Structure 1
Amino acid sequence: MIKTMKTTMMILLAFALIVGLSKPAYATTSINEKLGVPILVLGGNLSDAQKKEVRELLHVNDDQAVEEYTITGEDAAKYINGNPEARMFSSAKIVREEEGTGLTINIETPDNITEVTSEMYANALLTAGVENATVDVASPVKVSGHSALTGIYKAYDVQGVELDKERMELANEELGVATDLAKKDGLSQEKVSELLTEIKKDIAEQNPATKEEVEQIVQEQLSNLNISLSEADRQMLVDLFNKMRDLNIDFDKVKNQLEDLTNTIKDKADELGLDEGFWNKVANFFSEFFQALSNFFKGLFN
């Protein structure tokens, strides 16, 4: 009898555990009355079905827990002098955080955001003046990811946080430079992000007063990171960071966030095996392989 009761109890416990695990768990978050509810900005060209999918991707389960807006080409024209006819698909959820928290960027659909990495978003947002926020980005279709930046700016605007338009435009230009450089042979997205971050850190430390000093900083970081660029690409970087100097962007203010960004980039590069030692091993492997192949054929004909 006792054995039967034990068996029955074990079955009931197992059943309860299975039922509990089978139910979806939704985290309940209280509303931050100081900083406001999260803002959801959806690409204006999404269908209703795609909007529903994006809400799920961005973990928006309660329509009352967020403020929701749509971004269009007209917003791109307003915030970054973009094309008013642009089609917008990438979307974002923005949660403002307490001072000193820093920036956290999560790309929920990395396969569909094809050109912009979380580090590129973070770098551009720091340039634009966005700090202390958690930003989730998603798209149900393959896109470059640029329109999400416009959505983030709109989110701050509707919350009454005024961002400098020149800085927003410059941040968009920076994002364009980053994605262009990442398409070059031998340059990974991580390497490009590291380059931009290290230049900003040097600008914060050295406070260059002239374009020539900016050019020296750019060249030093290219050398430090063993990056070889064409003269046109090198000049593109110099011009970008000289504009930042002209706007008196104080990167010293966000130095800790730049340091955190550097560590994140290096950790990601290590995980992907993108360190210099890895590529040296690859080069050595192929060198030894072709030498062995050459010796093999020589042996056949001797």
Structure 2
Amino acid sequence: MKRILSMLVVSLLVGLAFSSTLIASSGDIGIDERYGKPKVVLGEALSEEQKDQVRNLLNVTDPEQVDEYIVTAEDLVNFIDGDPSSNMYSSAKITRQGEGYGVVVNIVNPENITQVTSEMYANALLTAGIENALVEVASPLKVSGHSALTGIYKAYNVDGESLDKERMEVANQELDVATDLTEDAGIDESKVSELLTEIKKQIAEQNPATKEDVERIVSEQLENLNIQLSPEDREMLTNLFEKMRNINIDFGQVTEQLDSIVADLKGKLDEVTGGDTEGFWQSVKDFFTNLIDSIRGLFS
């Protein structure tokens, strides 16, 4: 019994280690007068009680300190020609930052955002043309997380500002491709984000002139990251980046921010594993094998 208790303690510590890499709090920094108030965008489908929950999650303690908006299915149609019957739940807070800050995305309650990771959001936002912002995402109930992207678009399409519609549409497609590769093809979330980021970096570096060039870059990065995809998924990925090439998205302007996404992905894993990824996962496997054997022993 003592052995089982000690194993359960270790299991808890492993869980806490993972949680510490996923959850962060931005704190209340007040209004930066250079960039205006932070913008909070709440999903239309939320009840008033749920909206209050989201405000608490996003650390909105004073309504006078933020500009608040509601993101609707109509916004989804206007920005990306989306489905007008969609339900909008996931919400976001956007705080503008100075040049060189990059795009930092913090999912404040990741247990409720079930498909989209912070790196997926960051990649899509860079594609849409957003730079230098702290973006916090939250939901009071379990959702995929897709509607938060439209909410962020809305925050950037007020007060005379506007994002390019083609870029918003392809960024939304990118998010769909990322979650499809994770859910349907079974590719690890971090691997998907790293793949998308590395392809963008190579497109910035090589400036492909044809779809065949894009297809070659995609194939090279799949091989470099040892990712196996079906011909259909390869075509889906190639078509996504061909569309980006056709609308002349210049990823060279955000290469440093792309580098930071990869660094964050590797940093999170190194923080948990101590740099020994293979040894860490073997120790986790051994732990649970021993735990199961011990529980079996109680009934033998």
For the aligned pair, the TM-score class normalised by the smaller chain equals 0.7 to 0.9
Q: Deviations over 1:62-100 (max 9, x none)?
A: 010000000111111111111112111100000111111
Q: Aligned with 1:157: secondary structure?
A: coil
For the structure 1 residues 217 and 67, does the alpha-carbon distance in structure 2 shift closer, same or farther, using more than 3 Å as the test?
A: same
Q: Secondary structure at the match of 2:183?
A: coil
Cα gap change, 1:73 to 1:172, in 2 (>3 Å): same
Quick one: distance in 2 between partners of 1:141 and 1:155? Answer: 22
Residue in 2 aligned with 1:258?
Answer: 258
SS of the residue 1:40 aligns to: strand
Corresponding residue for 1:236?
Answer: 236
Structure 2 equivalent of residue 101 of structure 1: 101
TM-score normalized with structure 1 length: 0.81
1:104-119 aligned at under 5 Å gives the runs 104-119=104-119
Return the alpha-carbon distance in structure 1 between the equivalents of residues 207 and 27 of structure 2. 45
Residues in 1 aligned to 2:200 and 2:77: alpha-carbon distance in whole angstroms: 27
Where has structure 1 moved over 2 Å in runs of 4 or more?
Answer: 26-34, 268-273, 275-282
Mapped partners of 2:45, 2:280: distance in 1: 45
Unpaired runs of at least 5, structure 1: 1-25, 290-302
Q: What SS class does the counterpart of residue 157 from structure 2 fall into?
A: helix
Greater shift after overlay, 61-70 or 177-186?
Answer: 177-186
Q: Distance in 1 between matches of 2:92 and 2:27?
A: 19
Residue by residue, what CA displacement relative to the aligned partner does 1:145-169 show, whole Å, maximum 9, x if unpaired?
0000000000011143221001000
Map 1:162-201 onto structure 2 (within 5 A).
162-184=162-184, 186-201=186-201
Measured in 2, the distance between the counterparts of 1:30 and 1:52 equals 19
Q: Distance between the aligned counterparts of 1:28 and 1:171, measured in 2?
A: 29
Q: Given that residues 39 and 67 in structure 1 are in contact (C-alpha distance below 8 angstroms), is that contact kept between their aligned partners in structure 2?
A: yes
Normalised to the residue count of structure 2, the TM-score between the two structures is 0.82
In the alignment, does 2:47 pair up with 1:47? Answer: yes
Q: 1:86 to 1:279 in 2, by over 3 A?
A: farther
Q: How does 1:132-211 map to 2 (within 5 A)?
A: 132-184=132-184, 186-211=186-211
More relative contact order, 1 or 2 (CA 8 Å, 6+ apart):
2
Which residue of structure 2 lines up, in the alignment, with residue 292 of structure 1? none
Output the amino acid matched with 1:56: N
Note if 1:122 corresponds to 2:125. no
Aligned 8 A contact 1:190 1:268 in 2: no
Structure 2 residue runs without a partner (length 5+): 1-25, 290-300
Matched with 1:213 is 213
> Displacement of 1:180 after TM fit?
0.4
Q: Which amino acid aligns with 1:143?
A: V
1:36-59 deviation line (CA, Å, top 9, x unaligned): 100000001111111111000000
Residues matched between the structures, number: 260
Cα distance in 2, alignment partners of residues 229 and 64 from structure 1? 49
Instruction: Report the Cα offset of residue 30 of structure 1.
Output: 4.2
Report the counterpart of residue 60 of structure 1 in structure 2: 60
Within 5 Å, give how 1:250-289 maps onto structure 2: 250-271=250-271, 278=278
What letter matches 2:183 in structure 1? K
Q: Which amino acid aligns with 1:61?
A: T
The answer on whether the counterparts of 1:190 and 1:269 sit within 8 Å (CA) in structure 2 is no
Checking the alignment, whether the CA contact within 8 Å between 1:90 and 1:143 is kept in structure 2 is yes
Identity fraction in percent: 59
CA distance in 1: counterparts of 2:164 and 2:53, whole angstroms? 33
Q: Specify the structure having the higher radius of gyration (Cα).
A: 1
CA distance 1:266–1:159, change in 2 (3 Å):
farther
Q: Return 31-40 or 132-141, whichever deviates more.
A: 31-40
Residue of structure 1 equivalent to 2:16: none
- CA deviation map 1:158-201 (0-9, x unaligned): 14322100100000000000000012455110000000000000
Q: Is the 8 A contact 2:270 2:277 kept in 1?
A: no
